[in-house]
Amino acid sequence: MAKILLVDLPAADRDLLAAKKYDVEARSAAAAADGSLEIPAGCEIVFWLAGGPGAEDRPAVPAAVREAFDARLREGLRVVCFVAAAGADRIADLVGPVEGLRVEESVRGDAVVFNPRALFHVPFERYKPYIPKVFRLLGETLGDGVWEKAGAEESPVEVLAKTLDGTPAAMSVPRGRGGLLFLPSFGAKTVEVVEYILKDRLGLGAEAAAEPATDWLDAEDYVFPELKTLVARREEEKKRFEMVMADYDRQLRDLKAGGQEEFHRLLKGEGAVLRKAVIHAFRYLGWGRVVDVDEYWKNTIRNKEEDAWLLEAGDAPVEAAIRKGELVLVLVRGGKNWAADDECALLQKFKGRRMQEFDNTRMKAVLVGNYFSAVPAKERQNPFSAAQIEEAQKDGNGLLTTWELFRAVKAEKENRISKDALREQVRLKTGLIVFDI
């Protein structure tokens, strides 16, 4: 496995890669000022957070260090610069001058156009939402469909991403047998992009020069056109596959953001986030109306106490439904430990108050709890004690974990149970509610 050098990336990133058995070392760019930024022998890839914390105060880098860096590049070293701040002089200070490079702040990350044919298209699309800031890397703009430009070296500069006006925002610059890859910083996800590059060994510039073919018959002059055609088709299929995978990544991301993440908050959320997630889940299960009590009484000076009301009648006014129909009061609680006795006692206390206030005895109270929240949901213990369950059963109330509620939603989406059946179990079951799925 190639030896990897991280420059100015967090120590946690180094530890994460080391834990995955990568041969990785870390340095600070500031060490280059006194000549102590040495590239380890055998190092093939350097990942550098260019413009990271403290970059502006870094002393000038001696020419000898810069020349040594450049020599390693020309021998085959690959350097990935995650550009986190402006200042091309600070970048050139270490890797040497790059023709036309000028790092200027640009549009937000999600307004970048990616090169659909580049190998790096897949991670760009996957981690695009995490790009905090994008920089224009050159002073010129490129037309639609133009993703290459002439460079100082023999091989052209490949543009991987452009701003909306066509200015390069990510690019691969060849240098000898090695090369420089300029990418935006991906914030906390930068280390995942690093790992993506290491796993897939994406091209980071010009590949090392191949040894001359030992058989002169391999030369192009002796290759029939059908073989050339097949090779070209293979390359087209490879690019098409990358584009298809990028499209799947987009769909997966959109699907998670549009639905699944809201239900995941049942298992990870707390406070107002958890309350909204529980209300969202009950609305999904098809109650005629799920009333957010905070919203309903937001202009009323009073203790709102419970968090939601579940009403079967969706067409009747709320005020009429809570006085004449069946009503389920929902309390939402959570924590990293067991359910407390005083939390469970609130069920009957609040229900008694509402029975008197609404003059309606057709009520049930359910505590929905995200307890042991630091533990993976599938591994959590039942947070309710035998006494709490017995008391709830005696009072006709229910105790429901958010994990069980999540399981119910998942089962309905898998067509293993209907929403009607789940609502019926919430209405009828007392004590600890475990769905018959």
At 329, which CATH number? 3.40.91
Distance CA 271, CA 305 (A): 14
Residues 199 and 302 placed together within one structural domain of the fold: no
Q: Which two tokens stand for residue 387?
A: 């006494």
Are the C-beta atoms of 83 and 117 separated by less than 8 Å?
A: no
The predicted-structure confidence for 188-215, as pLDDT tens digits, reads as follows 889 888 888 887 654 444 343 334 445 6
Residues 192 and 306 placed together within one structural domain of the fold: no
Whether 226 is covered by a domain: the verdict is no
Whether 311 is covered by a domain: the verdict is yes
Domain end call among 159, 176, 208: 208
Q: Which long-range contacts (CB under 8 A, 24 or more apart) does 310-315 make?
A: 310/282, 310/426, 311/287, 312/287, 312/288, 313/288, 313/289, 314/287, 314/288, 314/289, 315/288
Positions in the chain whose pLDDT score sits under 50: 1, 202-213
The predicted-structure confidence for 109-124, as pLDDT tens digits, reads as follows 556 777 876 666 667 7
Whether 121 is covered by a domain: the verdict is yes
pTM beyond cutoff 0.75: no
Whether 257 is covered by a domain: the verdict is no
User: Quick one: pLDDT at residue 231?
Assistant: 76
Distance CA 153, CA 434 (A): 68
Residues 298 and 198 placed together within one structural domain of the fold: no
Residue range(s) defining the domain that contains residue 387: 266-432
Residues 416 and 326 placed together within one structural domain of the fold: yes
Whether 118 is covered by a domain: the verdict is yes
The predicted-structure confidence for 223-276, as pLDDT tens digits, reads as follows 778 777 887 788 888 878 777 777 777 676 666 555 677 888 899 888 989 999
Residues 202 and 305 placed together within one structural domain of the fold: no
Residues 278 and 192 placed together within one structural domain of the fold: no
Q: Which two tokens stand for residue 81?
A: 């610069």
Whether 249 is covered by a domain: the verdict is no
Element (H, E) at 290: strand 289-292
Whether 235 is covered by a domain: the verdict is no
Domain end call among 183, 208, 233: 208
Domain end call among 208, 228, 254: 208
Residues 182 and 275 placed together within one structural domain of the fold: no
Residues 22 and 136 placed together within one structural domain of the fold: yes
Are the C-beta atoms of 336 and 372 separated by less than 8 Å?
A: yes
Whether 116 is covered by a domain: the verdict is yes
At 73, which CATH number? 3.40.50
> Which phi and psi (to 5°) does residue 408 adopt?
-65, -45
Residues 204 and 277 placed together within one structural domain of the fold: no
| Contacting residues for 426 by C-beta, under 8 A, at least 6 apart | 285, 310, 328, 366, 398, 400, 433
Residues 40 and 146 placed together within one structural domain of the fold: yes
Please name the amino acid found at residue 414.
E
| Contacting residues for 427 by C-beta, under 8 A, at least 6 apart | 326, 328, 364
Structural domains in the chain (count)? 2
